[in-house]
Amino acid sequence: MLVPKGGAALLARAATAMTAIAGVVVAVVSAAGQPNVPVDLPGLLTLIGERVEAYYARAQSIICVETLRVQRLSHSLVPEPHMRVLVYELRVTREAGTDAYPTPEANVVRQLKTVNGRVPKPADNPDCLDPYDVSLDPLTFLLPHNQRDYKFSFKGSSRVNKRSAVMLDYSPVSKAPMEATWRDGCVSVDAPSRTTGRLWVDTATGDILRIDEQMQGPIDLDVPAPQRKPDTVPSLTLERAASSIRYKAVAFTDPDELIMLPESIENLSVAGGTVASIRMTHTFSGYQRFVTGGRIVQD
């Protein structure tokens, strides 16, 4: 239930030049060129696509609490004492396919509940690093029609939460030049050639257990004049950015069902020079499921 982008996506606050990864992107394509891989990669990818489709069919009836903690870090990556804490109600939506748009993506919809422990006031302004109210769900990259946009390689076997898994490394097929898009004091950086990642997949079920991604710098950015304020640095350097999403099995009753859902996301952006780095931690709790007749079933 997070935000994927094409390539590595970063956010930067122009006023203080703090950066944070906005989301993760992973996907996979064919197994061509790897005849000795000890798993059926095309078959596994087909299974993954089917599991993601099934996940979205279930997830639209589930809501949860997302807690986001944003911390500035010193140049030695030591957290500063104060942090921004946001609490959201979160759900997943996906429109039905149409003739004109047969393969819709899935979105995460957030409703802000508290800011630093209090109810938001009308005068409160969103922080540059706050997530969007509506954004792409991070598993949408693994829908069958998106898998062709990425290449992957088998990297061995592992275990995640006592479950047998295989590891697949990935990178975007596109090697398009880096693009930086500024909006309201934030910059989104798309750097496919600098982006790599790894996903952990349950070999028996095709469930995604973990997704890691990183972008390697340095990437130097000039802050455009319209985005500058009196305390804005004229340029910033993104040294690297990393993101990790972990999923867990959540049990529901009446009827009984076990669904893999997000447990946490950690984002780290490291900046060079005099610019502060940022750590953002999302945790997900309080899962509830709506069933027929409007009943709510908690995990």
Residue 191 or residue 291, greater confidence:
191
DSSP 260-278: EEEEEEEEEEEE-TTPPEE
- Residues in contact with 230: Cβ distance below 8 Å, sequence separation at least 6, in sequence order: none
User: Distance between CA 164 and CA 175 in Å, rounded?
Assistant: 33
What pLDDT sits at residue 24? 29
* Rg for the chain, CA atoms, rounded: 20
- Element (DSSP H or E) covering residue 54: helix 41-59
pLDDT for 21 beyond 80:
no
pLDDT for 120 beyond 90:
no
With b for 16 or more beta-carbon neighbours within 10 A and e for fewer, the 153-171 pattern comes to bbeeeeebeebebbbbbbb
Pick from 289, 276, 220: nearest CA to 61: 289
- Dihedral sign for Cα atoms in the order 220, 225, 226, 231: positive
User: Distance between CA 111 and CA 87 in Å, rounded?
Assistant: 9
Task: Respond yes or no on whether the N-terminal peptide bond of residue 102 is cis (omega within 30° of 0).
Answer: no
With b for 16 or more beta-carbon neighbours within 10 A and e for fewer, the 176-198 pattern comes to eeeebeeeebbbbbbbbbbbbbb
- Where do the DSSP E strands lie in the chain? 9-13, 18-23, 62-73, 79-94, 106-115, 134-136, 150-160, 163-172, 179-183, 186-190, 195-202, 208-222, 235-252, 257-271, 277-290, 296-298
Q: What is the mean pLDDT of residues 10-38?
A: 36
DSSP 124-182: ----TTSPPSEEE-GGGGGSGGGGGGEEEEEEEEEEETTEEEEEEEEEES--PPPEEEE
**123-154: per-residue pLDDT in tens?**
777 787 888 899 989 998 889 999 899 998 88
Give this prediction's pTM. 0.82
Question: Where do we find the tokens 């596109």?
Answer: 174
Residue 66 or residue 10, greater confidence:
66
Tell me the pLDDT band of 95, cut-offs 50, 70 and 90: confident
What pLDDT sits at residue 4? 31
**226-242: per-residue pLDDT in tens?**
877 777 778 888 888 99
Domains along the sequence of the chain with CATH: 9-298 (2.50.20)
Residue 26 or residue 268, greater confidence:
268
Specify whether the CB–CB gap between 1 and 92 falls below 8 A. yes
Q: What is the mean pLDDT of residues 258-265?
A: 94
- Residues in contact with 53: Cβ distance below 8 Å, sequence separation at least 6, in sequence order: 143, 144
Query: Residue 204 is encoded by which pair of tokens?
Result: 């028996």
**59-71: per-residue pLDDT in tens?**
989 999 999 999 9
Query: Residue 152 is encoded by which pair of tokens?
Result: 């992957």
Q: What is the mean pLDDT of residues 66-83?
A: 88
Tell me the pLDDT band of 296, cut-offs 50, 70 and 90: low
What pLDDT sits at residue 274? 65
The amino acid occupying position 48 is: I
Pick from 53, 52, 63: nearest CA to 289: 63
Average pLDDT score, the chain: 81
pLDDT for 20 beyond 80:
no
Query: Residue 109 is encoded by which pair of tokens?
Result: 């919809």
pLDDT for 213 beyond 90:
yes
